């Protein structure tokens, strides 16, 4: 097992009617900016629950944060934070609203020339404006981690940021919010969380027995609840297990003491930036070709995954490893998620070269758990995903 340090300060408040507990978590004298997305919270009753819980607070609102939170929109919210002298941020939404709020938490206390520098210069936020979240869509784990991904449509960029100052102070997880999520977003959430586990697991063995079994247990749980959640998102037991699995998939726990990959996300983010494809779907496009291209480096863990998650016990390590990739692709297809770039766009020619060039320009020359995924390899992997 590798050395590690682990600290996660986010308080989780989980369960039915948990939104009522909001008022206990925010300082009484706070001036709160309530941030939300395109309006789903006004249709499903979450907005009313939040407003009721905040009835004794001084609250300003900012709605309209789009999926793949857009820099230009967030800059408008930043102006509001300064004009209104906001002291506390509350994100009510999915990963996009929470990530946008993390950017604002960092930008509100940032003294540099332009807040975009936080993303391009990879400035880690040690201290941000305090914020909490009410999660409405299980998927990203953003509710219990310190990372965010921000999009800039003008330049077709999508870049990550983070730092120890960007953990939410608290996150409220009421699985009842899942009842109103459209099927497409449920499938996205399942796929994103599943791939988060793979990014931290599908590397090479280091004898981290517990981390491997944590990871496998999350995969098992997601596979078990996926059909139930899709069939009936009001099934509370299934929804609760889905929600907690997504949070646990990316709150830092399973990645400690083990190698991490994250090359799938690096390539996937470019597909969203270039084509606007939903985040989770970009991962399903890249996963099969990434694992096939890096088969030799990953086959021991692929075979372990085959045995323990898919119960594939016959054949050689290579046979099992290959079968596991096929099973994963089938799972994505069963969710209704296509796994080829050409399923999403007819303009895919040149994409691999463009992504490789972007990585070269940014100095991203060595991705993956072995730090050996060069832009040349990225080009080949993306081409295999056409």
Residue 274 β-bridge partners: none
258 within 8 A of 197, measured Cβ to Cβ = no
Cβ proximity to ligand NZQ: between 99 and 261 the closer is: 99
Q: What would the x/- binding string for ligand NZQ be over residues 73 to 112, using CB under 6 A?
A: --------------------xxxxx-x-------------
- The smaller minimum CB distance to Zn ion, of residues 192 and 270, is found at 192
Contact pick of 12, 177, 258, 381 for ligand NZQ (by CB under 6 A): 177
Q: CB 83 → Zn ion: shortest distance, Å?
A: 34
Asked if 149 touches ligand NZQ (CB under 6 A), the answer is: yes
Contact with ligand NZQ (CB under 6 A) among 49, 101, 140, 191: 140
Given candidates 9, 27, 39, 205, which one binds ligand NZQ under the rule CB under 6 A? Answer: 39
Q: Which of 11, 20, 30, 38 binds ligand NZQ (CB under 6 A)?
A: 38
Q: Applying CB under 6 A, which of residues 101, 145, 203, 211 lies at the interface with ligand NZQ?
A: 145
Residue among 70, 143, 157, 192 that touches Zn ion (CB under 5 A): 192
Q: Please name which of 132, 89, 137 lies closest in space to residue 278, comparing C-alpha atoms.
A: 137
Q: Where are the alpha helices (DSSP H) in the chain?
A: 40-43, 46-53, 71-83, 95-108, 117-120, 183-201, 209-231, 236-249, 263-275, 279-293, 295-310, 317-334, 351-362, 375-384
Give the DSSP letter string of 159-210.
EEEE-GGGS-SEEEE-GGGGGG--HHHHHHHHHHHHHHHHHHHSS---S-HH
CB of 293 to ligand NZQ, least distance (A): 21
* 38 vs 62: CA distance, rounded Å: 10
- What six digits make up the tokens of 140? 């990203």
Query: Based on CB atoms, which residue is closest to ligand NZQ, 133 or 203?
Result: 133
* Nearest of 97, 123, 96, 99 to residue 110 by alpha carbon: 123
Please count the other Cβ atoms lying within 10 Å of the Cβ belonging to residue 228. 15
Q: Report helix, strand or coil for 148.
A: strand
* Least Å from the CB of residue 64 to ligand NZQ: 8
Between CA 142 and CA 149 the distance in angstroms is 10
By beta-carbon proximity to Zn ion, the closer residue of 196 and 298 is 196
Confirm if 129 and 82 have CB atoms less than 8 A apart. no
The residue range among 37-45, 115-123, 126-134, 318-326 that interacts with ligand NZQ, by the rule CB under 6 A, is: 37-45
Nearest residue to Zn ion, by Cβ distance, number only: 192
The site for Zn ion (CB under 5 A) is made up of: 192
The site for ligand NZQ (CB under 6 A) is made up of: 37-41, 44, 67-68, 93-97, 99, 136-137, 139-142, 145, 147-149, 177, 180-181, 185, 188, 192, 250, 265, 279
């Amino acid at each position: 097992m590798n050395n590690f340090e682990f600290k996660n300060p986010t308080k989780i408040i989980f369960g039915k009617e948990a939104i009522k507990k909001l008022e206990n978590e925010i300082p009484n004298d706070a001036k709160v900016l309530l941030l939300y997305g395109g309006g789903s919270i006004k249709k499903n009753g979450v907005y009313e629950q939040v407003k009721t819980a905040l009835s004794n607070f001084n609250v300003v609102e900012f709605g309209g944060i789009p999926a793949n939170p857009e820099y230009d929109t967030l800059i408008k919210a930043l102006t509001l934070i300064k004009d209104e002298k906001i002291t506390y941020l509350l994100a009510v939404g999915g990963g996009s609203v929470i990530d946008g709020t993390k950017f604002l938490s960092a930008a509100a206390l940032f003294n540099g020339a332009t807040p975009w520098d936080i993303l391009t210069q990879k400035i880690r936020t040690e201290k941000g404006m305090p914020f909490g979240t009410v999660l409405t869509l299980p998927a990203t784990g953003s509710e219990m981690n310190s990372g965010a991904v921000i999009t800039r449509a003008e330049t077709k960029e999508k870049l990550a940021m983070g730092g120890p100052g960007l953990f939410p102070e608290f996150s409220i997880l009421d699985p009842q919010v899942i009842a109103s999520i459209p099927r497409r977003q449920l499938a996205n959430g399942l796929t994103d969380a599943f791939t988060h586990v793979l990014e931290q697991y599908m590397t090479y063995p280091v004898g981290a027995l517990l981390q491997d079994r944590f990871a496998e247990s999350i995969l098992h749980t997601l596979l078990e609840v996926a059909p139930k959640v899709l069939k009936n998102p009001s099934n509370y037991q299934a929804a609760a297990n889905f929600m907690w699995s997504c949070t646990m998939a990316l709150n830092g726990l399973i990645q400690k003491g083990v190698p991490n990959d994250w090359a799938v996300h690096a390539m996937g983010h470019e597909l969203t930036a270039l084509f606007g494809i939903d985040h989770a779907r970009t991962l399903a496009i890249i996963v099969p070709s990434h694992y096939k291209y890096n088969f030799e480096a990953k086959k021991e863990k692929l075979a372990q995954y085959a045995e323990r998650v898919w119960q594939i016990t016959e054949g050689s390590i290579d046979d099992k490893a290959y079968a596991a990739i096929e099973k994963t692709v089938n799972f994505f297809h069963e969710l209704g998620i296509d796994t080829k770039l050409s399923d999403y766009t007819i303009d895919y020619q040149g994409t691999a070269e463009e992504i490789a060039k972007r990585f070269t320009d940014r100095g991203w020359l060595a991705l993956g758990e072995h730090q050996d995924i060069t832009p040349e390899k990225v080009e080949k992997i993306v081409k295999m995903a056409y």
